[in-house]
Amino acid sequence: MYNTIEYEDIDKNNIDGSYCLIDVRSPSEYKLYTIPNSINIPILDDEERKIVGTAYVQENPERAIKLGMEIVSRKLPHIYNKVVELSKEYKNLIFFCARGGFRSRPLVALLSSLGIHALKLSGGYKKYRKYIIKALPETVKGIKFVVLYGNTGVGKTEVLKFLKEEGMDVLDLEACANHRGSFFGSVGLGQQNSQKMFESLIYESLRNRKTNLVFTEGESRRIGRVYIPDYIFQAMREGIHIRIDASLESRVNNIYRDYVKDTDGELILALERLRKYIGDKNINEYEKLIKEGEYKKVIEDLMVKYYDPLYGYKKKNYQGIFKNENPAKTAKEIIQWAKKLK
Which amino acids are annotated catalytic? 97
Query: How far is it, in rounded angstroms, from Cα 136 to Cα 50?
Result: 33
Query: Which of 79, 219, 195, 45 lies closest to 147, judged by CA?
Result: 219
Query: How far is it, in rounded angstroms, from Cα 96 to Cα 104?
Result: 5
Query: How far is it, in rounded angstroms, from Cα 142 to Cα 212?
Result: 6
Query: Which of 125, 131, 121, 128 lies closest to 3, judged by CA?
Result: 121
Sheet with strand 169-171: strands edge to edge: 169-171, 213-217, 144-149, 240-245, 320-323
Query: How far is it, in rounded angstroms, from Cα 244 to Cα 323?
Result: 6
Give φ, ψ of 4 to 5 degrees. -115, 160
